[in-house]
Structure 1
Amino acid sequence: MSRKNKKQIFTNIEIIDAGAKGKTIAKAPDGKVIFLSNAVPGDIVDVQTFKARKAYYEGKAVNFHKRSEKRTQPVCEHFGVCGGCKWQDMAYEHQLYYKQNEVVNNLTRIGHIELPEVTPILGSEKQYFYRNKMEFSFSDSRWLTLEEVQSDQDLGDKNALGFHIPGMWDKILDLKACHLQEDPSNDIRNSVKKFAIENHLEFFSTRNQTGFLRTMMIRTSSTGDIMVMFQFFKEDKKNRELLLDFIAESFPQITSLQYVINGKANDTIYDQDVILYKGSDHIFEEMEGLKFKINAKSFYQTNSSQAYQLYKIARDFAGLTGKELVYDLYTGTGTIAQFVAKQAKKVIGVEAVPDAIVAAKENAQLNNINNVEFFVGDMKQVFNDSFIAYHGQPDVIITDPPRDGMHKDVVEQILNISPKKVVYVSCNSATQARDLALMSDIYKVTKVQAVDMFPQTFHVENVVLLEKRSELSN
């Protein structure tokens, strides 16, 4: 007996909200929630479901009866296929509204946090061309449109240089123009592809693990530096030098040209040797006179101007007077630690990635900052009683964990130490809310500030100030 088809069609459904991961929300006639990825709040649509669960459906809009006033015309020709800018069809002021709404909902519903008056989300001055880092993949099997698949015509070469299609690990969208990184990013990418095809350089096959050209990373900075790094699947000195020399001659403004020979199954470079071909092995980012040296493996916030705003908020929430011992947990390359150092007595930074701590120490030396110390190790192991006893009881803790939030042992240690203030910077307000709930008996949330680091996407950063309830009652 054939399996019953779970797909249904619901007609004249109004999209009522936007939720997590960029999905929009509607209600089915039976009362269940419907999650959609191709509609905007205010649209009235017919929905075809493709997944049914006990409490919800997942579906897509297949017919539009009314288009929302919140809509705007996407600027990118790749919108709807590329997964990078899922909200490009929603006007920016509405993007900000739903981002702030998500933060408030997560803190109140997940964390059951009693919020102070919430200040409006800080929007980005740049809504396009704001990213300082982009990574592109080569493929000998580009993603084909339905029309191309059904066509009887010769499609020519199927090489691509662009982004992975969401949910398709071996298909790459061939980008014509991307609106996320300033030029010469598009010029470099398009020139590389054209040159590679003209010179018969092999594009990588993810499925077969063959080919030559694997990935290309472009980093830019507010100082005008440009880094380009290629990953080659195998060494081919003649063709490698042919491509690198072409790029160096065509784009003399590139200040760092590097490459990696990576023959392993995945294209992560953290365990690979990065080889300098021309220029410097790093670029610089600058913030309030501080310089930060960034190499090919460095983490740095990908929206430089909004990172500055984010760090100013964290520093303001900390309320430093020059007398405080500050712990900066998950310090990364020590950017926040150095940014607040001139207003603190001393800052201790802790991070699990050894290369990041090496960079943090180099940057501190570069900036002549003498009141910071950096330590490497697993946070839940390093951040222990003996560490506190040796380095001192912090007055303020700043924590900026990854998307998964803080380990419960780290939260427990913060509660044991019980500093006067905790400034919690998060890229995931859901896990932030979970951690705040664990701290709510001792700490009260007194300030909340959401920051939009990634316009045209559903991602949002949030900064929270926690103050000891016992101090507030005095």
Structure 2
Amino acid sequence: MVKQPRYETVTLEKIVGGGQALGTLSDGRKCFVWGGLPDETVTFRVTKKKAHFIEGIVTEVLHASPERIAPRDASSYLSTSPWQIMTFSAEQNYKAALIKEAFELHNVVLPHKIDVYTDRRKFQYRNKVEFSWFSERAGESYPDTLDLAFFRRGSKGKIIVNECSLLPSGIITLAHSIRDLLHRKHISARQLKTLLIRSNQQGSCVWQLYIKDRLPNIITREETEMLPAQGGEIIYSDPRSPASRITARLAKFGDTTLTDTVLGTPFRYACEGFFQVNIPVYEQALRDMQEWVSYPKCTTLANNDTGGENLPVIDLYAGVGTIGLTIGGDNATLIEINESAVAEMQRNITALGRANARAVLAPSEKALDFITPNHVVIVDPPRAGLHADVIAKLLETAPPRIIYLSCNPVTQARDTALLTEEYNIRAHRGYNFFPRTPHIEHLVVLDRK
């Protein structure tokens, strides 16, 4: 027997940190709903049911908010950018409110009005995408279909994707070319895992096709020369893992290393490596951070402009070095756990001739001896925030300034609450790195009391 979907009707109250709209059902349970906005009355399909709350996706808007607009990607926006349904000014306001709420949750009062920087580019800003695949049998005498897909939000299913407004046209064109090539060979989605494509600011693309079967000739060298890309790879990825992990590199074509310039500094990075998705907005964050690298310099973020001295910089969670090598000065130590990122970082250091810069392969929590009272510390951790040992070391050594860029204001607020034992917040600013999505970046500058 097929289980029938369950529907509920509710008036939504507010946007919450995960990006959904929150409502309260008649029995007192909370519901977290995608596709709805505050003050709207909606009907939604229940996708997850727990004892004290449920989750769902809006199927009908009974009373619409004045902030509601038609999504550009009507069939796929929930999977990629669920805030396409609101005006851009509403998005900016909600992101500022979520930053404020995250810090208030940890009893931290931000000293200035919350500003969320945007370059107002809402679409075609992403330089990286990872597609899944979908096939269905057309009939016994016909081959499988083959389509690019994303996972459907709120379920285990997939949604076929032909276009995505967040991506530049070059990435879409390359994805279609690879899809059509594989389809002509009667390749099925069952043999494939994902397609990763990345482009630089000049529009050059590289690709990685992750496959579940060891088929090095799934695309030939001659065929890759017809693709609109500077290079690509065929990668076997263990089918027992759902993630696109590199088990073995089966074939490589052309140049698979991208180059980009960040604040005038050239960088090399791999297709699968960590690099910023929205470089223009990232550069503004770097410019803001750069004003605070000299200690005890105070800047226009706090409406002050006094001079300072240059202290050596420790850059934790450094990636390929885009922070430390652009704003870290001549004496920077960059700590990173990913081996391939550190290899690229070292190549960048050598190419830039930074004799006093050091690349260190280590988890940040295992490189605590590098943190001293005579360093400015820059941190840009993953969504989980700072490791507890890193916070303990910062409190113990009390470096004069901590510059903390975060992709998750909730964990940043938690960490800041702990650090305020020894530090005051000097400046802060939000950044809309990912327009039309709930994701927020936030900068906090902390000075030793």
The structure 2 residue matched to 1:103, chosen from 87, 99, 103, is 99
Q: Tell me if structure 2 keeps the 8 A contact 1:41–1:70.
A: no
Note closer, same or farther for the CA distance 1:32–1:297 as it changes in structure 2 (3 Å cut): closer
User: Is 1:417 the counterpart of 2:397 in the alignment?
Assistant: yes
CA distance in 2 between counterparts of 1:335 and 1:463 reads 16
User: Is 1:118 the counterpart of 2:113 in the alignment?
Assistant: yes
Q: Say which SS state the counterpart of residue 195 (structure 1) adopts.
A: helix
Q: Tell me if structure 1 keeps the 8 A contact 2:21–2:37.
A: yes
Q: Tell me if structure 2 keeps the 8 A contact 1:229–1:259.
A: yes
Kindly, what percent of the aligned residue pairs are identical? 21
Corresponding residue number in structure 2 for 1:129 = 124
Q: How does 1:263-412 map to 2 (within 5 A)?
A: 263-266=238-241, 268=243, 270-274=245-249, 277-319=252-294, 323-341=310-328, 344-384=329-369, 387-388=370-371, 393-412=373-392
Corresponding residue number in structure 2 for 1:208 = none
Q: Say which SS state the counterpart of residue 20 (structure 1) adopts.
A: coil
Gaps of 5+ in 1: 143-147, 206-210, 470-474
Q: What is the CA distance between 1:61 and its match in structure 2?
A: 4.2
TM-score (norm 1): 0.83
Corresponding residue number in structure 2 for 1:232 = 211
Q: Tell me if structure 2 keeps the 8 A contact 1:215–1:232.
A: yes
Q: How does 1:70-89 map to 2 (within 5 A)?
A: 70-79=67-76, 82-89=78-85
CA distance in 2 between counterparts of 1:141 and 1:94 reads 40
User: Is 1:162 the counterpart of 2:139 in the alignment?
Assistant: no
Q: What is the CA distance between 1:24 and its match in structure 2?
A: 0.4
Q: What is the CA distance between 1:65 and its match in structure 2?
A: 2.8
Note closer, same or farther for the CA distance 1:15–1:409 as it changes in structure 2 (3 Å cut): same
Amino acid at match of 2:363: D
Note closer, same or farther for the CA distance 1:134–1:30 as it changes in structure 2 (3 Å cut): same
Q: What is the CA distance between 1:155 and its match in structure 2?
A: 10
Corresponding residue number in structure 2 for 1:216 = 195
CA distance in 2 between counterparts of 1:319 and 1:465 reads 12
Q: Tell me if structure 2 keeps the 8 A contact 1:357–1:375.
A: yes
Corresponding residue number in structure 2 for 1:22 = 19
The structure 1 residue matched to 2:426, chosen from 437, 441, 446, is 446
Give a deviation string over 1:340-386, Cα, whole Å, max 9, x none: 13xx35111111122211111111112222331111112222213xx
Q: Say which SS state the counterpart of residue 259 (structure 1) adopts.
A: strand
Q: What is the CA distance between 1:334 and its match in structure 2?
A: 1.1
Note closer, same or farther for the CA distance 1:155–1:124 as it changes in structure 2 (3 Å cut): farther
Q: Say which SS state the counterpart of residue 169 (structure 2) adopts.
A: coil
Amino acid at match of 2:67: K
Amino acid at match of 1:182: P
Q: Tell me if structure 1 keeps the 8 A contact 2:238–2:247.
A: no
User: Is 1:248 the counterpart of 2:225 in the alignment?
Assistant: yes
Note closer, same or farther for the CA distance 1:176–1:310 as it changes in structure 2 (3 Å cut): same
CA distance in 2 between counterparts of 1:135 and 1:260 reads 14
Amino acid at match of 1:350: I
Q: Say which SS state the counterpart of residue 240 (structure 1) adopts.
A: coil
Q: Say which SS state the counterpart of residue 127 (structure 1) adopts.
A: coil
CA distance in 2 between counterparts of 1:52 and 1:263 reads 32
CA distance in 1 between counterparts of 2:133 and 2:59 reads 32
Corresponding residue number in structure 1 for 2:40 = 43
Bigger mean CA offset, 394-403 vs 118-127: 118-127
Q: What is the CA distance between 1:136 and its match in structure 2?
A: 1.3
TM-score (norm 2): 0.87
The structure 1 residue matched to 2:409, chosen from 421, 425, 429, is 429
Give a deviation string over 1:16-73, Cα, whole Å, max 9, x none: 3111211102344565543211211232335676766665454454543321110111
Note closer, same or farther for the CA distance 1:257–1:56 as it changes in structure 2 (3 Å cut): closer
Amino acid at match of 1:79: S
CA distance in 1 between counterparts of 2:196 and 2:83 reads 24
Q: Tell me if structure 1 keeps the 8 A contact 2:319–2:342.
A: yes
Q: What is the CA distance between 1:125 and its match in structure 2?
A: 2.9
Note closer, same or farther for the CA distance 1:89–1:156 as it changes in structure 2 (3 Å cut): farther
CA distance in 2 between counterparts of 1:227 and 1:233 reads 20
Q: Tell me if structure 2 keeps the 8 A contact 1:203–1:214.
A: no
Q: What is the CA distance between 1:140 and its match in structure 2?
A: 2.9
RMSD: 2.9
Q: How does 1:445-464 map to 2 (within 5 A)?
A: 445-464=425-444
CA distance in 1 between counterparts of 2:386 and 2:406 reads 10
Note closer, same or farther for the CA distance 1:65–1:161 as it changes in structure 2 (3 Å cut): closer
Q: How many pairs are equivalent? A: 433
The structure 1 residue matched to 2:172, chosen from 186, 199, 205, is 186
CA distance in 2 between counterparts of 1:293 and 1:319 reads 27
Gaps of 5+ in 2: 296-307
CA distance in 1 between counterparts of 2:59 and 2:159 reads 23
CA distance in 2 between counterparts of 1:219 and 1:79 reads 20
Give a deviation string over 1:169-225, Cα, whole Å, max 9, x none: 5x432211111211222222223222322232x2232xxxxx2x4322111111332
CA distance in 1 between counterparts of 2:128 and 2:227 reads 20
Q: Tell me if structure 1 keeps the 8 A contact 2:224–2:253.
A: no
Q: Tell me if structure 2 keeps the 8 A contact 1:399–1:424.
A: yes
CA distance in 1 between counterparts of 2:68 and 2:27 reads 28
Q: What is the CA distance between 1:247 and its match in structure 2?
A: 4.0
CA distance in 2 between counterparts of 1:221 and 1:56 reads 43
Corresponding residue number in structure 1 for 2:135 = 140
